[in-house]
Amino acid sequence: MHKDIATPVRTKQILEKYGFSFKKSLGQNFLIDTNILRNIVDAAEVTEETAAIEIGPGIGALTEQIAKRAGQVIAFEIDQRLLPILAETLEPYNNIKIIHEDILKADVPKVLKEELKPYSELKVIANLPYYVTTPIIMKLLSEDLPLQSITVMLQKEVADRMTAKPGTKDYGSLSIAVQYYTNAETVMIVPKTVFVPQPNVDSAVIRLTVRKGRAVTVLDEEFFFSVVRASFAQRRKTILNNLSTNLPNGKVEKDSILEALQMAQIDPKRRGETLSIEEFGFLSDTLYKLLNK
């Protein structure tokens, strides 16, 4: 029985053996608490029917816990220096494939087609590098991968924004983007003391359960998101002001924007953060029809 990777002692031994130094630019923080890793895998509800995608396996601490339960694991690692370490630490497992690629540049559907055996469910489980959390999650969601869920560790403040409800200070275009594709919930808060090196902030694990459809059906997805982004551009401004200032041609189309708000029964003096995703859907469709008459 080999020892778990995620203990302070074993992590230190591995890093010293390979003379590994952390790169700040890659946002490398390794977890040194096996219980937390098991809790992440629990939260993701992994079974042997699961094919798992991991991003940034580091020295394999979470990878190992996923591999113990999943049918197979595909892990994307950008840092070449970690490949020989992973080859050693994960040597006992024959259901892991490490792909040396930046997940943001990778053709994920192609990799899955080439590497995955038949499976009944596909899940993403990862301790994400903080500086690219949002682009990674948005890429995974917008690429229409056949995902059931994404269970990831990220900065607590980003988790708060992704799970925020209308009318709260954390609610914004990121909340709507994530909740458009998923049901988002925070599973646990993780203190900074269980990482090496210690980050400056606490982390949270969130589970995003991918919806069968979208939260709202809209005429034009790109237009919907541009309305959402414009509505939050300056938080203190009213929705009418924000849309007229920040939508392309908004100043010219101010009358149409006002008309759309009235037709959607949304008070032009409201702020973007008070609108639900359904209200945004209805508003963007109403405005889209008016502008494309």
- Which residues contribute to the annotated binding site for S-adenosyl-L-methionine? 29, 31, 56, 77, 102, 127
- At CA 83, angle to CA 79 and CA 85, rounded to 5? 115
Strand partners, 204: 154, 189
What DSSP line would sit under 30-86, residue for residue?
EE--HHHHHHHHHHTT--TTEEEEEE--TTSHHHHHHHHHSSEEEEE---GGGHHHH
Residues 6+ apart with CB under 8 A from 228: 173, 176, 177, 272, 280, 284
What residues form the annotated binding site?
29, 31, 56, 77, 102, 127
- H-type alpha helices, the chain: 8-18, 34-43, 61-69, 83-89, 108-115, 133-142, 156-163, 173-181, 221-231, 239-246, 254-263, 277-291
CB 37 within 8 A of CB 10: no
- Using alpha carbons, select from 18, 136, 5 the residue that is nearest to residue 80: 18
Q: How far is CA 2 from the centre of its chain?
A: 32
Amino acid at 133: T
Beta pairing, strands 121-127 & 195-196: unpaired
Radius of gyration of the chain (CA): 22
> Are 125 and 152 contacting, i.e. CB atoms less than 8 angstroms apart?
yes
Residue 73's DSSP bridge partners are 52, 96
